Amino acid sequence: VGVRVGRVTSAFSIASGSDISVEWNAETFDSGAFHDNSTNPNRLTVPSGLGVKYLIK
């Protein structure tokens, strides 16, 4: 169970000290309903009962 998301659109700049919300607009796979490209592209939701370690890079 997992998800792999990425960005396929142009790069964007981030001002120093700013908080941002990254819109993940591409999925390689999503076998646990972690991500929804159309409703909340900037959100990854951990399904109930799957509270383990995740790698975000």
Interval 21-49: pLDDT, tens: 888 989 999 998 999 989 999 999 988 88
SS3 55: coil
What pLDDT, on a 0 to 100 scale, did the predictor assign at position 47?
Answer: 87
What pLDDT, on a 0 to 100 scale, did the predictor assign at position 54?
Answer: 77
Cα end-to-end distance, the chain, whole Å: 18
What pLDDT, on a 0 to 100 scale, did the predictor assign at position 35?
Answer: 92
Interval 2-25: pLDDT, tens: 889 988 887 888 899 999 888 898
Token code pair at residue 29: 């796979």
What pLDDT, on a 0 to 100 scale, did the predictor assign at position 17?
Answer: 92
